[in-house]
């Protein structure tokens, strides 16, 4: 009698028993990646979709704008940004509190998407300064 079917059943059961978090890439592995990878991560994706509210297309296009790779700021913020002409996107994700900061630049005009309050974490001042360098209000 072959043990192959029993082994397959046990293997399949073990694979399906793995928690979802174990199957997704660790957030810190995104350091050095592009914004598309950050936005596609399961921990970020739902928050991003909710924050984009009505501007999903602009946000998803913004994820592909040229900019530096995702960086780790203050040991817990994953930060990425891209700009091209008068368009831009700044995204930061707090890996501890799972908070998203999202700023969109459309035709040179700022669109604050998240957080909905006016309070931004002070740790993001330097990378946001790099993103906004050269921008002037019109």
Q: What is the pLDDT of residue 49?
A: 94
pLDDT band at 2 (very low <50, low <70, confident <90, very high): low
pLDDT band at 7 (very low <50, low <70, confident <90, very high): low
pLDDT per residue as tens digits for the range 87-135: 999 999 999 999 999 999 999 899 988 987 767 899 999 999 999 988 7
| Average pLDDT score over residue span 9-38 | 70
Cβ atoms within 10 Å, residue 26: 11
DSSP output for 88-111: EEEEEEETTT--EEEEEEETTEEE
Q: Which structure tokens are listed for 117? A: 């309050």
Domain boundaries, the chain: 24-132
Cα-based angle 104, 61, 24 (whole degrees, multiple of 5): 95
Is there a contact between 121 and 101 (Cβ–Cβ < 8 Å)?
A: yes
Q: What is the pLDDT of residue 57?
A: 95
Q: What is the pLDDT of residue 113?
A: 87
To the question of pTM greater than 0.85 for the whole model, the response is no
Q: What are residue 114's DSSP bridge partners?
A: 102
CATH class of 24-132: alpha beta
Q: What is the pLDDT of residue 138?
A: 57
List all residues 6 or more positions away from 92 whose beta carbon is below 8 Å from its beta carbon: 73, 77, 78, 79, 80, 100, 101, 102, 121, 124, 127
């Amino acid at each position: 009698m072959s043990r192959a079917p029993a082994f397959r059943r046990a293997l399949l059961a073990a694979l399906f028993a793995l928690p979802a978090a174990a199957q997704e890439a660790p957030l810190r592995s995104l350091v050095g990646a592009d914004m598309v990878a950050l936005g596609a991560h399961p921990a970020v994706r739902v928050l991003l979709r909710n924050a984009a509210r009505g501007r999903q297309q602009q946000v998803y296009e913004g994820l592909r704008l040229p900019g530096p790779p995702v960086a780790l700021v203050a040991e817990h913020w994953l930060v990425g940004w891209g700009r091209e002409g008068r368009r831009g996107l700044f995204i930061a994700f707090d890996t501890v509190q799972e908070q998203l900061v999202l700023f969109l630049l459309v035709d040179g005009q700022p669109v604050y998407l998240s957080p909905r309050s006016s309070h931004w974490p002070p740790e993001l001042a330097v990378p946001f300064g790099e993103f906004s360098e050269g921008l002037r209000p019109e």
